[in-house]
Amino acid sequence: MKNTLQSCSDVQLASAAVSGSRAAFEEIVRRYCRPISQFIVYKTQNLQDTEDLVQETFLRAYQNMDTFDTSKSLKSWLFTIGYHLVVSFYRRKKIRIVEEQQLHDIPAAKMESGENADWLWNTVSQMEQDSQSVLWLHYKQDMIVDDIARIMKRSPTAVRVLLHRARKRLEKKLRCNTQISEQLDLHFRGTSVMEGTK
């Protein structure tokens, strides 16, 4: 049964979960817990808050599964819930900074590896929240512009502009360190607002 569920599409899992299958929902959690956790810990910089927000994300998803539109992406729907919980978190609570070593407890998704990847995402973390979110969702989660637009409740054009500006700001920061900038093969350079996005 477990192996059967693992081979199911997101739509099939969502449909089964709506029909009351706890096992199907558990497979949704298994499939998306890690990427949601990586996104939220990057935003909150706090492991305890991340655990709470991830649990709340899946609790809300479970409670509202019957509202999920199966013509849309389940992944982007879950990220929308998580994203808006993080926004609410920022509104009601000051962010506590955790020691850097705690952040390494969360396995990183593969984009680049080693010190350069750490340096890159540490640089992104110093940017404004919207820039962080759009870069993370696009490059770490490999989301297309339309999905990011739904998550952030922006138009696709607004997301393209935001992504373009975020890349330009990041490129400028990277140029401050020529050595690392040359080592990282970022495809941020020479990208127009409408190009280089999926």
Q: What does pTM read for this prediction?
A: 0.62
* Structure confidence by residue, pLDDT tens digits, 150-172: 999 899 999 999 988 888 888 77
The answer on 139 and 94 residing in a single domain is: no
When pLDDT is averaged across residues 127-155 and rounded to a whole number, the result is 89
Q: Which structural domain range is residue 175 located in?
A: 111-198
pLDDT at 111 over 50: no
Which pLDDT band holds residue 36 (cuts at 50, 70, 90)?
A: very high
The answer on 76 and 2 residing in a single domain is: yes
The answer on 198 and 150 residing in a single domain is: yes
Distance CA 39, CA 26 (A): 20
The answer on 83 and 139 residing in a single domain is: no
The domain tally of the chain equals 2
The answer on 8 and 95 residing in a single domain is: yes
Task: State residue 8 phi and psi, 5-degree precision.
Answer: -75, 150
Which is higher by pLDDT, 184 or 107?
A: 184
Last residue of a domain, one of 47, 79, 107: 107
pLDDT at 25 over 60: yes
Cα separations in angstroms, 52 against 32, 93, 180: 15, 13, 35
Structure tokens at 117: 């990847």
Find which of 25-29, 116-120, 183-187 is predicted with most confidence, using mean pLDDT: 25-29
Q: What is the DSSP letter of 114?
A: S
Percent of the chain having pLDDT more than 90? 29
* Structure confidence by residue, pLDDT tens digits, 61-90: 998 998 888 888 899 999 999 999 998 887
